[in-house]
Structure 1
Amino acid sequence: MATPGSPTATVTNPTGTIDPHGSATGAHDIEKGHRPSHINARLNEAQPGFPVCHKQRANPAPLGLFAFATTTLLFSLINAHARHVSLQNIAVGMSFALGGLAQFVAGIFEFCVGNTFGMTAFCGYGAFSFSVAISYWPSSGVLTTYAPTPADPHRLNAAIGLFLMCWFVFTFVLWLGTFRSSVVLCATFFFFWLSLLLLSAGYLANKTGVIKASGWMGIVTSLLAFYVGAHSFLTAEAAPIQLPNPSLARKRA
């Protein structure tokens, strides 16, 4: 039998299972505030500063969270008119590649580790990013379809507002599922549904000030998502620096 320090050593999960509900005994629900029960590693000879971790599965949460946070930050800065930028064109590529593809892939792997919440959130918001990118893609014709007319000069804003209202409902329902996760994750979804509500209301009422306010709420959302992603990533990699993220889960008897 190989010893833990030998090159052929492997690591098995002490419980042999994955808790999809993110309980304290679950090994892979890091994004909900739980640390893996066991990580074994040996030094990488080529890069001594980086351990080679032998785990059954990688944690997909950091990829999904960072993809969500980065895309949300860019869109929110534009909504807040940072540096007087108000057009969404620069965010189309990121929305396709990072917010859409990377986040959807993270959702598929959340399915593989048995995390229903992570799968639903990442696949859902990956599809959301794809749909936003397609809408702003010139060849799709979506924007030209709702071009202003003398009879209805704000119909594009009205269409965007209705679109965002649907995603506000989706996000609000997901927020209800975070009440027993972690403090920062719950706060992330709270600020996200609040930003979507303000953004939808701003477009429907044609109020630039409300849209800017939604942008600032989105910036807060993205920073919180970066924090949760960093917490998950640093924990999964057994980094010497750990970020606190108190759990909201009730202790089981």
Structure 2
Amino acid sequence: MAAPGSPTATVTNPMPGTIDPHTGTTTTTSGHGVHDIEKGPRHSQHVDSRLNEAQPGFPIYHKSRANPAPLGLFAFATTTLLFSLINAHARHVTQQNIAVGMSFALGGLAQFVAGIFEFCVGNTFGMTAFCGYGAFSFSIAISYWPSSGVLSTYAPTPTDPYRLNAAIGLFIMCWFVFTFILWLGTFRSSVFLCATFFFFWLSLLLLAAGYMANKIGVIKASGWMGIVASLAAFYVGAHSFLTAEAAPIQLYNPSLARKRV
């Protein structure tokens, strides 16, 4: 996902602001720039923190590109949290229908758009993760959409009452493999991003096993692991969103990137 939030680990060292004697504008720069696990360190760009004249008090920072990572991370985290709460049977809710709309709009569309913009900024991991999980959310929404006929195709029969569970288990197992491979790509990113993918692949593995073995307890356990993964993703998204020039606080997210000699 990008910047310290996604597999691009950001290491910033904010320097005191400087004031333009002609405009009175305060600008800030970072001392160390950005460390990309694929392209190595690069210098951060000059930031102009002038306020929007049309909307006083609403800051617009003039950069060449916005960071798409927070959008993708928040979309992933919010959708995962809702599905995980349902899997954990929170408030006795067991049907996934309430998550279909969110899966289409936020987990699918918003996350896929974030992945496209990760491509534009040159982040292969972010593009793969956001576009992949955007497609994941779309496919889940389509499967639970009544008009698709997917669920009715696997309606229980006297000879095979659990064939829908078996089909869902196989579907989730494929995404477990995808997530596990992505997790291997986070070992040089940041602690909380690595934790996000660890708990997510663990959640998917438990969910697939629970459906294929028809064990409600295992499905509930996967829901709790998914809740932890979503909270970690929220943290990474907030860390990436609450930048030094835009927020009074920054969150701690240790980098796992090795220093190059």
The bucket for the TM-score relative to the shorter chain is 0.7 to 0.9
**Matching residue's letter, 2:42:** T
Equivalents in 2 of 1:118, 1:248: separation in Å? 17
Aligned twin of 1:161: 169
Deviation at 1:23, TM superposition (A): 3.9
The superposition leaves residues 149-184 of structure 1 with CA deviations (integer Å, 9 ceiling, x where unpaired) of 011000000000000000000000000000000000
Q: Does residue 74 in structure 1 map to residue 91 in structure 2? A: no
Matched, 1:104 2:112: yes
Is 1:25 aligned to 2:42, yes or no?
yes
| C-alpha distance in 2 between matches for 1:249 and 1:138 | 46
Over 3 Å counting, the alpha-carbon distance change for 1:12 and 1:242 in structure 2 is: closer
Of 41, 58, 74, the residue aligned with 2:49 is 41
**Residues 11 and 56 in structure 1, CA contact (< 8 A), matched pair in contact too:** no
Q: Please, which of 127, 142, 147 is the counterpart of residue 139 of structure 1? A: 147
Structure 1 unmatched runs, 5+: 28-36
* CA distance in 2: counterparts of 1:246 and 1:83, whole angstroms: 35
TM-score (norm 1): 0.88
Contact 1:14–1:38 (CA<8 Å) still a contact in 2?
A: no
CA–CA distance in structure 2, aligned partners of residues 219 and 239 of structure 1? 26
1:201 aligns with 2:204: no
Are positions 1:54 and 2:62 aligned together? yes
Offset at residue 146 of structure 1 (A):
0.2
TM-score when scaled to structure 2? Answer: 0.85
Query: 1:18–1:114: 8 Å Cα contact kept in structure 2?
Result: no
1:212 aligns with 2:229: no
Residues 72 and 42 of structure 1: is their aligned pair in 2 closer, same or farther, counting only changes over 3 Å? same
Q: Which amino acid is the alignment partner of residue 150 of structure 1?
A: P
Instruction: Check conservation: 2:26, 2:50, Cα contact below 8 A.
Output: no
Amino-acid identity (%): 83
Q: CA deviation at 1:42?
A: 1.4
Q: State the number of aligned residues.
A: 242
1:44 is displaced (CA, Å) by 3.3
Greater shift, 177-186 or 8-17, is seen at 8-17
**What is the aligned partner in structure 1 of residue 248 from structure 2?**
240
Check conservation: 2:27, 2:49, Cα contact below 8 A: no
- Aligned partner (choices 176, 180, 183) of residue 172 of structure 1: 180
Q: Which runs of 5+ in 2 are unaligned?
A: 1-19
Give the superposition deviation at 1:50: 3.2
Q: CA RMSD in A?
A: 2.8
Match of 2:232 in 1: 224
1:60-110 CA-to-partner distances (Å, cap 9, x unmatched) read: 000000000000000000000000000000000000000000000000000
4+ runs deviating over 2 angstroms: 3-27, 37-40, 43-51
User: Aligned partners of 2:21, 2:115: CA distance in 1, in Å?
Assistant: 32
